[in-house]
Amino acid sequence: MFRFDRLIRSSMTVREIRTQYPETAAVFEQLGFRESCDDCALETVVKKQGLSRADVMGALQLAINNGDANNE
């Protein structure tokens, strides 16, 4: 089931996302996000790495949703 309280926002820091949603760790690793980026807003890191914000947020949201489905 879709839950608005489980949505990530591009203004969240990488650390906030990693802490609230540990299931996103593999996505960050695959995308090459370093720990030094943890205190930056997701949107900032995405821009610096030349990635698509929609693609990154989609991959993160998918990891969160899949984690939710596994916990039901």
pLDDT of residue 22: 95
CATH, residue 34: 1.10.3910
pLDDT of residue 21: 94
Range of the domain at 34: 4-70
State the sign of the Cα–Cα–Cα–Cα dihedral 13, 18, 24, 27: positive
pLDDT at 69 over 60: no
2-29 pLDDT, tens digit each: 567 778 988 999 999 999 999 999 999 9
| Residue 38 phi, psi dihedral angles, 5° rounding | -60, -30
Name the strand (E) or helix (H) holding 65: helix 53-70
Number of domains in the chain: 1
Coil vs helix vs strand at 52: coil
CA nearest 26: which of 69, 53, 66?
66
